[in-house]
C-alpha cells in the first residue's frame, strides 16, 4: 500500500478526535464566546482555522490553473469538515438554521447575532481586572498571572489593553506591604512590561519570605491629647530650709549654721556682714567691696549681669543706675514701658536718660550671617540615610518600649520607625533595617548620618 493510501485513513481518523474535543462545549445561544474559542483551538491544531476567516470562492475549471483548482478543492474539503463539526456542536434549533451554511458565513452571522453577549463579557472582564486583589493565602506571582489572563481575554474580545496601563493597574492592585516596591519602581522610572513586572515581583516576594508582617495588634507609639501623670519619685528637699554661712565665694568657709529664710529684709540676717536688718545684695559693706574690686559679685551667670556688673548689686543712688537696674530686672523692657509703670505708680520716680546703652539688647538685635557651607545630598536611593533616636518617654507602650529610632532616606524622604526598649538596641534595629532595604532595592547603603548622640557607641 502506498504512503498516500496510508495517510488518508489517518487524516480521516482525526475528525472524530476533533469532534469529541469540540463537543465538550455545545452552542445553546448563551455561550457563544466559549463555544467559538473551543472551535478555534481545535481548528488551529489541525491547521483549518483559515476557513472561518476566508470565504470560499468558486473557480472556473476551464480557465483556472491546476494549482488554483487544487487549492479550491482543499479549501472546500476543509470547509465541509469544519461545517460538520460546527453543526454537530450546536443544539437542534441552531442546527436546523445553519445546516446549509459554509463556516465563513456561519461564523460571521453568529458573531453578529451574539455581539451583545460579547460586550457583556467584556464589561465583566474589565470589572474583574480593575477590582482584582490578591486573595487570602495567594502568592503575588499567582495574582499577577491572573491579571495577565484578564489582559489576554480582553485582547481576544477586541479590546486590547495598553501595556503601560496594564502595569499601572497591576501595581495599584498590590497590597500595602508592597508600598516600598511601588515607590522604588516609580523613582527608578522603570518602563517594564507585564512579563518583566512579574519577574521583579517574584524577586521581591522571595526577599520578603520569612519576615514577620506587623499585625494590627502590635503596639505602636501614640501621643495623646491629654497631659500625662507625673512620675512618682522621692520628694525634693526644700533648699530654703538650710543655707550655708561663710565668708565669700573667694574665701574658705569657716563655719556653717542654720539660718531661716525670711521674706522681710528687716528681719533677715546678712550673709556678708552678719548684721541684722538687710540682705547681702543691699549690704553697704558688700557693695563697697564689689566696687573696690575686693570681692567678686556672686552671680549665677551672664543672665544676671548688665555690662559686666551684677544687676543685683548696682548702686541705686543715681537715676542712671536705677534705670539700668529696672530695665534689666523687668526683662529688658523699653523706656516707654518703664515710663508707663512710673505713671501707674508701680515704679518709683527716677530720670530716664537717653544716652545709656544696654549691651545685652544690642547683642540680641544683631543678625547672624547666613550659613553658606556646602552640604551633601543623596543622588539615589540609600546613598545617605539619616538616623535619630527619640526618648525616653514617660508613657510606655504595652510591651514596655520607651524609645523609637528613625531611618530616613535622603533621596526619597521615605522613613522607617522602630520601637525599642533601650537606647542600646539601636544598632540591632539598624542591622534589621539595612538587611530589609538592601534586599528589596538591590542597592547598598553608602552613608549613615546621625547627630552623634552616642547610640551607636554601645556596640
Average pLDDT rounded to a whole number, residues 263-282:
78
DSSP code string of 151-168: HHHHHHTT-PPPHHHHHH
- For residues 17 and 92, membership in a common domain is answered with yes
- pLDDT(291) > 50: yes
Q: For residue 283, how far is the Cα from the chain centroid?
A: 66
Of the candidates 383, 380, 384, the residue with the CA atom closest to the CA atom of residue 449: 384
**Residue 273 within any structural domain of the chain:** yes
- For residues 14 and 108, membership in a common domain is answered with yes
Average pLDDT rounded to a whole number, residues 389-403:
90
Going from the C-alpha of 115 to that of each of 78, 89, 118, 120, 168, the distances in angstroms are 26, 20, 5, 9, 29
Q: 387 has which bridge partners? A: 407
- pLDDT(355) > 70: no
Geometric angle at alpha carbon 125, from 120 and 127, rounded to 5°: 95
Name the residue with higher pLDDT: 143 or 2. 143
Number of domains in the chain: 5
Instruction: Note the pLDDT tens digit of each residue in 66-78.
Output: 888 888 899 989 8
Instruction: Note the pLDDT tens digit of each residue in 20-51.
Output: 666 677 787 777 777 888 888 888 888 888 88
- For residues 22 and 98, membership in a common domain is answered with yes
**Residue 377 within any structural domain of the chain:** no
Instruction: Note the pLDDT tens digit of each residue in 225-240.
Output: 444 445 555 555 544 4
**Residue 190 within any structural domain of the chain:** yes
Average pLDDT rounded to a whole number, residues 379-392:
92
- For residues 46 and 97, membership in a common domain is answered with yes
Tell me whether the omega of the peptide bond preceding residue 222 falls within 30 degrees of 0, making it cis.
Answer: no
Instruction: Note the pLDDT tens digit of each residue in 154-166.
Output: 887 778 888 888 8
DSSP code string of 64-132: S-HHHHHHHHHHHHHHHHHHHHHHHTB-HHHHHHHTT--HHHHHHHHHHHTHHHHHHHHHHHHHHHHT-
**Residue 373 within any structural domain of the chain:** no
CA distance 295 to 251: 9
Threshold 0.75, pTM exceeds: no
- For residues 340 and 268, membership in a common domain is answered with no
Question: Residue 343 is part of which domain span?
Answer: 305-363
- pLDDT(219) > 50: no
- For residues 333 and 313, membership in a common domain is answered with yes
Average pLDDT rounded to a whole number, residues 415-423:
92
Return the pLDDT at 458. Answer: 57
**Which 8-state DSSP code applies to residue 411?**
T
Return the pLDDT at 223. Answer: 36
pLDDT range class, residue 433, cuts 50, 70, 90: very high
Q: Which of 278-292, 405-419, 443-457 has the lowest mean pLDDT?
A: 278-292
Amino acid at each position: 500500500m502506498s504512503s498516500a493510501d496510508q495517510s488518508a485513513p489517518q487524516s480521516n481518523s482525526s475528525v472524530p478526535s476533533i469532534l469529541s474535543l469540540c463537543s465538550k462545549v455545545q452552542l445553546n445561544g448563551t455561550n457563544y464566546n466559549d463555544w467559538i474559542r473551543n472551535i478555534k483551538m481545535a481548528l488551529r491544531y489541525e491547521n483549518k482555522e483559515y476557513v472561518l476567516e476566508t470565504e470560499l470562492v468558486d473557480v472556473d475549471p476551464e480557465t483556472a490553473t491546476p494549482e488554483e483548482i487544487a487549492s479550491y478543492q482543499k479549501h472546500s474539503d476543509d470547509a465541509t469538515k469544519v461545517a460538520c463539526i460546527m453543526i454537530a456542536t450546536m443544539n437542534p434549533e441552531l442546527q436546523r438554521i445553519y445546516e446549509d451554511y459554509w463556516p465563513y458565513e456561519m461564523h460571521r452571522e453568529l458573531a453578529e447575532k451574539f455581539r451583545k453577549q460579547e460586550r457583556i463579557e467584556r464589561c465583566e472582564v474589565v470589572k474583574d481586572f480593575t477590582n482584582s486583589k490578591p486573595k487570602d493565602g495567594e502568592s503575588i506571582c499567582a495574582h499577577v498571572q491572573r491579571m495577565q489572563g484578564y489582559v489576554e481575554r480582553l485582547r481576544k474580545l477586541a479590546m486590547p489593553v495598553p501595556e503601560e496601563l496594564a502595569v499601572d493597574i497591576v501595581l495599584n492592585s498590590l497590597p500595602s506591604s508592597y508600598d516600598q516596591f511601588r515607590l522604588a519602581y516609580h523613582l527608578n522610572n522603570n518602563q517594564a512590561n507585564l512579563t518583566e513586572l512579574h519577574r521583579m515581583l517574584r524577586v521581591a516576594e522571595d526577599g520578603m519570605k520569612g519576615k514577620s508582617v506587623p499585625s494590627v495588634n502590635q503596639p505602636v507609639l501614640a501621643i495623646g491629647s491629654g497631659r500625662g501623670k507625673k512620675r512618682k519619685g522621692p520628694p525634693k528637699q526644700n533648699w530654703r530650709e538650710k543655707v550655708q554661712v561663710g565668708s565669700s565665694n573667694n574665701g574658705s568657709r569657716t563655719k556653717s549654721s542654720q539660718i531661716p529664710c525670711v521674706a522681710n529684709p528687716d528681719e533677715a540676717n546678712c550673709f556678708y556682714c552678719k548684721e541684722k536688718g538687710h540682705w547681702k545684695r543691699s549690704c553697704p559693706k558688700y557693695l563697697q567691696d564689689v566696687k573696690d574690686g575686693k570681692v567678686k559679685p556672686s552671680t549665677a551667670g551672664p543672665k544676671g549681669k548688665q555690662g559686666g556688673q551684677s544687676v543685683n548689686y548696682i548702686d541705686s543712688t543715681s537715676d542712671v543706675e536705677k534705670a539700668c537696674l529696672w530695665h534689666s530686672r523687668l526683662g529688658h523692657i523699653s523706656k516707654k514701658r518703664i515710663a508707663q509703670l512710673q505713671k501707674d505708680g508701680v515704679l518709683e520716680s527716677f530720670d530716664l536718660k537717653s544716652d545709656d546703652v544696654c549691651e545685652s539688647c544690642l547683642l540680641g538685635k544683631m543678625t547672624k550671617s547666613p550659613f553658606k557651607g556646602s552640604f551633601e545630598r543623596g543622588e539615589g536611593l540609600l546613598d545617605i540615610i539619616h538616623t535619630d533616636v527619640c526618648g525616653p518617654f514617660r508613657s510606655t507602650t504595652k510591651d514596655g518600649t520607651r524609645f523609637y529610632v528613625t531611618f530616613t532616606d535622603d533621596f526619597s524622604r521615605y522613613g522607617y520607625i522602630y520601637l525599642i526598649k533601650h537606647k542600646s538596641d539601636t544598632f540591632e534595629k539598624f542591622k534589621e533595617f539595612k538587611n530589609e532595604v538592601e534586599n528589596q532595592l538591590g542597592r547598598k547603603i553608602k552613608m549613615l548620618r546621625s547627630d552623634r548622640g552616642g547610640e551607636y557607641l554601645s556596640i
